[in-house]
Structure 1
Amino acid sequence: MVKLTTAWLKYLPATLRARVEHRPNLQKALINTGWLFGDKVLRMGVGLLVGVWVARYLGPEQFGLLNYAMAIVALFGAVASLGLNGIVVRDLVMEPKTANETLGTTLLLQAIGGLLAFGLAVLAISFARPNDSLAKLLVAVLGFVMVFKCTDVVRYWFESQVKSKYVVWLENGIFLVLAVVKVGLILMEASLMAFVWAAFAESVLVAVGLLGVFARRGGALSAWRISYDRAKRLLKNSWPLILSGLAVMVYMRIDQIMLGQMLGDEAVGVYSAAVRISEVWYFIPTAIIASVFPAIVAAKKHSETLYRQRLQNLYNA
């Protein structure tokens, strides 16, 4: 791995190159962070252009209804993921011999969590807008996407191996194809539901693609196993993260839901267009953490001093 990654070092300033040159783990983390940054920058650029076009085409009211439905669904995203991301990555690094058991159990848990989150989202929209059939349909379609999020377990595995580039290739390829599809829908003067089904199709393609990438680059899907004891252990560790995740999503999305209830969908549309621009920078700390987290966890196995040193280096960054 080091031989494949040292060519880019010559482009770094001499001081930085001296600090990185003989540290393969840091090189892997930097490269992985670069892939994640590239992914988000591409999505920011293309997504912003296409998103603005879609918003202008749909108009404030329909765009607002779409974002209102997405906010309802997002409220229960923490239930779908069960707060397992960091915990699963940690276990994959610390206990590689039980990786198949961890992956299989996590897939099942998140599939169940996705179904539960879907039911909660449908219940919420039925309570919030009992007479709005279109809003109910939007939430039902977008909410079912959370069931497919169970395949994010593949993403966790690649994160634990610091090889996010395979996931980036897959997701960006599908993202670009669907961006073209959305432009086509605009030119064809398609309905709002056509854009919702396009988002649904993107999620299905990503889910199937993730499993395919793992089968090609990771291992055999048939080797995955489900363990009741592992499930209990994962949930025991993750329940505080579920609560914190719910709190975060309420904080981030309740404004759109309140606007939709008090002022209507048009106000949500105008507000959501501005919020999306302000949220594009949220990925920076997430990308850094995702890249260095496996190395920090691995250090815990070897030395408490090394573990604390790497943790402090992260906080100082």
Structure 2
Amino acid sequence: MSTESKTTGWISPIFARFPMLRKALKNSGWIFGCGVLSNITAFVASVMAARYLDVTEIGAIGYAASIVAMLRIFVSLGIDEVACREISQEPDSSPQVITSSMAIRLTAAAITIPAIVAFALFMTPQAIEGRAYILVIMSLGLFGVPFSSASIHYASHLRSAVPQRINATLAILYMAMVAIGVQQRLSTGYFVSLIAAQQALGGLIVYWIYRSNEITDARWSLVRKTAKSLLHDSWPQTLSGFGILIQAYSDQIMLGEMKGLDSVAQYSVALKMTTVMTFAPLAILASFLPSLSRRFKSDQNSFWIGFHQANRLASILCVAIVTIVYFIGAKLVLLTFGDQYSGAAVLLSVMSMRIFLTCLGIIRGSFLVNANILQYSMLTVLIGTVLNILLNLKFIPSHAEFGAVYASLISFLVTTVIVDLLFSKTRQAMLIAMRGWAFPFLNYENQVFRI
């Protein structure tokens, strides 16, 4: 008997007994594979642009990208997790949920995008004075957000291969176009336009495929009802998301205003490296979140077991990644981006601690959505946001980029962990999560190395 036959004979009964496991692993494979390709190509493109453009121009792009990223939540409106929960629990509701999400977001985009353009043209921030066109162009990429609602359908049905392949293809094209721009010595506006085009096309193409291949007929009476329900459940998530984005991106905006665009460039390069390294655990965890939603509705004990397992897995992955960053992260920055980003090389080792908090926050968010205590989430984020701004004001003048990192780490720790331990409705979840992170070799019943 061949090795392959033995392996198949051993694995097949497991997949036959747990079909959702097989589907989740396949979904994870697509997310991970396409995500790796997308991240590698995007990273290579960013390296080419960083080596070609002036450091100040890179800082201006990072500054504008931070503003757009923060305001993106007012187009997406935090609907994704709530919509995914609804479809995971009621698969037949997909046409109503997707159509409702898109209608809500189209309305929001019609307000948000012109507001950003008006802000860029008439109230130009001092840090990008003379470069307001960068903010205008990047805001146009938000046009794809309403159409990306179709991705919720594929994510909730564990069919993420569709949007992931589209994103990977666009990432490859983006890298090729950046290479052409570098070779032809094109202007900064060209590179900014590529960023906006990639973001817009991603949503448009996913929606076109969804309309072509899926059942999309929705009753408008149900759409209106669903839209009201989504807005009712997601508004705390919208405000929470905005607060989280302020925590994540206000550092670069405040750095630009207080220390200049060169500091923003160093910070954004270190953040880019951290984001690339955070992808692997997030891609793996993403496929288990719909399963947690189903478990929460059907069997609470099963949910807690899955919740604990997700935190155990995240702990192992994050420790491995941060260890690699500690030993070779600085060398990787200098090797790829060049000596002009030596500040980012030093900054990376500290910023990599965000990987732990990001992964913990994703799993924690799954519990908050399923337990429908999103108003509490909004409160915790508000606390973290105010704290982050105050800490930035304190640390950036004396510690520059490092001060911004210290502020974000402390504020995320308070938002994600400390406040949850103080609140009775979330204390159990956080204690289970912390046990998974601290003792990944123990399962939910405290058995060693047992799944």
1:28 pairs with 2:20: no
Q: 1:10 to 1:104 in 2, by over 3 A?
A: same
TM-score (norm 1): 0.86
Task: Say whether the 8 Å CA contact 2:73–2:241 is kept in structure 1.
Answer: yes
1:37 to 32, 41, 56: 32
| Structure 1 contact 122–136 (Cα < 8 Å) conserved | no
Please show how residues 1-317 of structure 1 align to structure 2 within 5 Å. 10=7, 22-122=17-117, 125=120, 126-127=122-123, 129=125, 134-220=130-216, 223=218, 225=220, 227-317=223-313
Deviations 1:264-300 (A, max 9, x none): 2233223222221122233344323421222222334
Distance in 2 between the 1:108 and 1:61 partners?
39
Greater Rg by CA: 2
Partner of 1:114: helix, strand, or coil? helix
Task: State the 1:309 CA deviation.
Answer: 3.8
Amino acid corresponding to residue 64 of structure 1 in structure 2: G
Is the 8 Å Cα contact of residues 72 and 124 (structure 1) preserved in structure 2?
A: no
Q: 1:99 to 1:17 in 2, by over 3 A?
A: closer
For 1:11 and 1:44, locate their aligned partners in 2 and report how far apart those are by CA, in whole Å: 32
In structure 1, list runs of 5 or more residues that go unmatched.
Answer: 1-6
Q: Which runs of 5+ in 2 are unaligned?
A: 314-451
Asked whether the equivalents of residues 67 and 268 of structure 1 are also in contact (C-alpha less than 8 Å), the reply is yes
- The more displaced of 305-314 and 177-186 is 305-314
Which moved further from structure 2: 166-175 or 90-99? 90-99
Q: Return the offset for 1:150.
A: 1.0
Question: What TM-score do the two structures reach when normalised by structure 2?
Answer: 0.62
* CA-CA distance at 1:191 after TM superposition: 0.6
Distance 1:257 1:297, change over 3 A: same
**For each residue in 1:134-164, what CA deviation from the matched residue of structure 2 results, as whole angstroms up to 9, or x when unmatched?**
5322212211222321112111100011010
- CA–CA distance in structure 2, aligned partners of residues 301 and 65 of structure 1: 46
Letter matched to residue 27 of structure 2: N
> Quick one: percent identity of the two aligned structures?
22
Q: Which has the higher contact order (CA 8 A, sep 6+)?
A: 1
Question: What one-letter code is carried by the residue in structure 2 that aligns with 1:137?
Answer: Y
* C-alpha contact (below 8 Å) 1:9/1:21 kept by paired residues: no
Range 139-148 or range 164-173, more displaced: 139-148
Distance 1:93 1:171 in 2: 23
Q: Post-superposition shift, 1:175?
A: 1.3
Partner of 2:185, secondary structure, is coil
Indicate the RMSD between aligned Cα atoms, in angstroms. 2.8
